């Protein structure tokens, strides 16, 4: 894939976005939160009800409920949609949210991929609890939104009620990448609807301040923001900001702050890189860059899981930090942003040498502590002290020590130092990623760039910039010159 940087944003802006601190490892751990509770079947979500019970979303279409007590040993089938839920690849049960007045009206909402009739459909539906508070009425489905699907991946599907009382939900682009930029459909979008005031023949209303309310060009009025690939989990912070994790393709995983009527770039951009089409032009697209991004490449990560701003009491060092993770590497990070200064990011958990938990989602309990669901069935909680949070000192050993020869004709040897595996990214003066060199090991060592591009072609002569990336963050940059 070819990349060029966003117009109007010089190459060093990209470096600043991924710079900040190179975090020291904070020795937290995870442990089973409910040791007596049997494992669930591929839980992809966990949602706390207003009364504090927990609802586990199993990928095959089942939702089970259990009491949030340390010694709980049983769960109850709350809703079984397995017969109508597609469960192949990334299809399945996706999200769940309780109406703000659930105690009185008994309404809750789910998103799932329905297979009852082909083609598959992404469905947002309302259900009603039965007389038994631990059992839903399976015949109470009221469908609000259906989106026809052509592939089995990139479904999004998280749901939350905002502080304004409106329901927000996301849909992935279904592998139909250009639909993310087209506003007459709901793929690759965040939607915002009024479930309490149906209007216009729909089972919901369109809030008056939605950006495309009453437009006359055919744009979907449900759209709040667009340009997403696979928005896997979003949440509201205590100040009302919407934090979202968008899964990347082959370069960047990103954390976004979602704003009304903004474009988050896909497939024109992946993170801060401009991707499609070639040549890429983002003029007039109103693209908002991610707050944070990290490399989609081992050992840094491959599939982000959006999380929550931590508001609990067990880990005061994490207070106010956005806790998120990666399902492929079982890493968990704490991202801090004060709304003004550049964000800082610290890894607080990483299980070496490979993922064994396969985190799939992060849940905020009624007491505002966080829980993590694992693909293999477990529910986990953080333990220990995140001692490195707030450590703003990069490892002294992480740097590009030299480039020899420089300028060069055939190859240049980059002498680097880092305490862990690293990547050296080669950018041209326009910010286009030209080559990536992976360097394993630790300490001082050499990495060689032979002047070729990622496509195997000879790069043109000129000025380039080599950037050292450690733990997914910039740790040094050096100017190099390639001659004919």
User: Residue 278: which CATH number?
Assistant: 2.120.10.30
Neighbours of 51 (CB within 10 A): 12
| DSSP codes of every residue in 17-77 | HH-S--PPPP--EEEES-TTSPPPSSEEEEEE-TTS-EEEEETTSEEEEE---TT----EE
β-pairing, 156-161 vs 167-171, is: antiparallel
Residue 389: the pLDDT is 65
SS3 call for 104: helix
On whether both 340 and 436 belong to a single domain, the answer is: no
Successive 10-residue mean pLDDT values, the chain, 484 residues: 33 32 56 95 97 97 97 98 96 98 98 96 98 98 98 97 98 96 98 98 98 98 98 96 95 95 94 76 87 78 93 90 93 91 87 77 96 96 77 55 91 88 78 79 88 88 85 74 89
Cα distances (Å, whole numbers) of residue 28 to 163, 381, 388, 453? 32, 10, 10, 40
- Residues 114, 66 share a domain: yes
* Domain total in the chain: 2
Question: Does residue 413 share a domain with residue 359?
Answer: no
pLDDT for residue 410? 92
The CATH number that applies at residue 414 is 2.60.40.4070
Give the structural domain span for 322: 4-383
3-class secondary structure, 116:
coil
Residue 394 lies in a domain: no
pLDDT of residue 281: 76
Secondary structure E strands in 259-321: 269-270, 273-274, 292-295, 304-309
Nearest to 472 by CA among 17, 26, 27, 13: 17
| Six-digit token string for 277 | 């089409």
Is position 280 within any domain?
yes
Same domain assignment for residues 357 and 430: no
Q: Are 270 and 249 in contact (CB under 8 A)?
A: yes
Same domain as 215, residue 133? yes
In what order do the strands lie in the sheet containing 273-274? Answer: 4-5, 273-274, 269-270
Helix (H) or strand (E) holding 103: helix 102-105
Global confidence as pTM: 0.78
- 181 and 311 together in one domain: yes
Sorted by sequence, the CB contacts under 8 Å of residue 284 that are 6+ apart come out as none
- Tell me the residue ranges of DSSP E strands in 208-321: 223-226, 231-236, 242-246, 252-258, 269-270, 273-274, 292-295, 304-309
Judge whether 202 lies within some domain: yes
Using the structure block, give the residue that is written with the tokens 């890189």: 273
Contact 90, 152 (CB under 8 A): yes
Q: Where are the beta strands (DSSP E) in 405-459?
A: 412-418, 422-428, 433-439, 443-449
> Which residues neighbour 104 within 8 Å (Cβ) at sequence distance 6 or greater?
none
């Amino acid at each position: 894939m070819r990349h060029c940087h966003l117009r109007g944003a010089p190459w060093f802006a990209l470096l600043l976005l991924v710079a900040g601190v190179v975090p020291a490892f904070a020795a937290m751990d995870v442990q089973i939160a409910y040791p007596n509770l049997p494992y669930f079947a591929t839980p992809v979500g966990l949602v706390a009800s207003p009364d504090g019970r927990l609802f586990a979303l199993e990928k095959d279409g089942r939702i089970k409920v259990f009491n949030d007590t340390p010694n709980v040993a049983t769960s109850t089938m709350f809703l079984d949609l397995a017969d109508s839920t597609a469960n192949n690849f990334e299809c399945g049960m996706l999200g769940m949210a309780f109406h703000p007045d659930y105690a009185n009206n008994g309404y809750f909402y789910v998103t799932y991929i329905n297979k009852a009739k082909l083609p598959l459909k992404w469905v947002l539906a309302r259900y009603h609890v039965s007389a038994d508070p631990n059992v839903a009425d399976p015949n109470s489905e009221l469908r609000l939104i259906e989106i026809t699907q052509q592939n089995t991946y990139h479904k999004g599907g998280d749901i939350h009620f905002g502080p304004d009382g409106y329901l927000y939900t996301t849909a992935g682009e279904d592998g139909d990448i250009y639909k993310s930029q087209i506003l007459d459909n709901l793929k690759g979008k965040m939607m915002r609807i009024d479930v309490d005031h149906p209007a216009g023949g729909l089972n919901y209303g369109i809030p008056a301040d939605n950006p495309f309310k009453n437009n006359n060009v055919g744009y979907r009025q449900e759209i709040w923001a667009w340009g997403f690939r696979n928005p896997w989990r979003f949440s509201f912070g205590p100040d009302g900001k919407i934090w979202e994790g968008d899964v990347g393709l082959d370069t960047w995983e990103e954390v976004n702050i979602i704003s009304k009527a903004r474009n988050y770039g896909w497939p024109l951009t992946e993170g801060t890189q401009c991707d499609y089409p070639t040549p890429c032009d983002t003029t007039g697209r109103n693209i908002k860059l991610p707050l944070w991004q990290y490399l989609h490449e081992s050992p840094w990560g491959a599939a982000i899981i959006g999380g929550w701003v931590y508001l609990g009491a067990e880990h005061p060092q994490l207070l106010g930090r956005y806790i998120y993770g990666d399902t492929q590497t079982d890493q968990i990070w704490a991202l801090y942003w004060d709304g003004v200064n550049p964000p800082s990011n610290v890894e607080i958990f990483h299980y070496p040498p490979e993922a064994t938990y396969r985190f799939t989602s992060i849940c905020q309990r009624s007491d505002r502590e966080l829980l993590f669901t694992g693909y293999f069935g477990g529910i986990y909680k953080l333990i220990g002290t995140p001692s490195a949070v707030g450590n703003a000192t990069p490892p002294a050993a992480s740097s590009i020590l030299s480039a020899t020869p420089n300028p060069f004709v055939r190859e240049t040897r980059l002498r680097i130092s880092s305490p862990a595996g690293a990547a050296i990214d080669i950018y041209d003066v326009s910010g286009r990623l030209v080559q990536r060199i992976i360097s394993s090991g630790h300490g001082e060592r050499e990495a060689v760039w032979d002047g070729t591009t990622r496509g195997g072609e000879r790069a043109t002569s000129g000025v380039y910039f080599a950037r050292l990336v450690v733990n997914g963050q910039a740790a040094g940059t050096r100017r190099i010159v390639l001659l004919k």
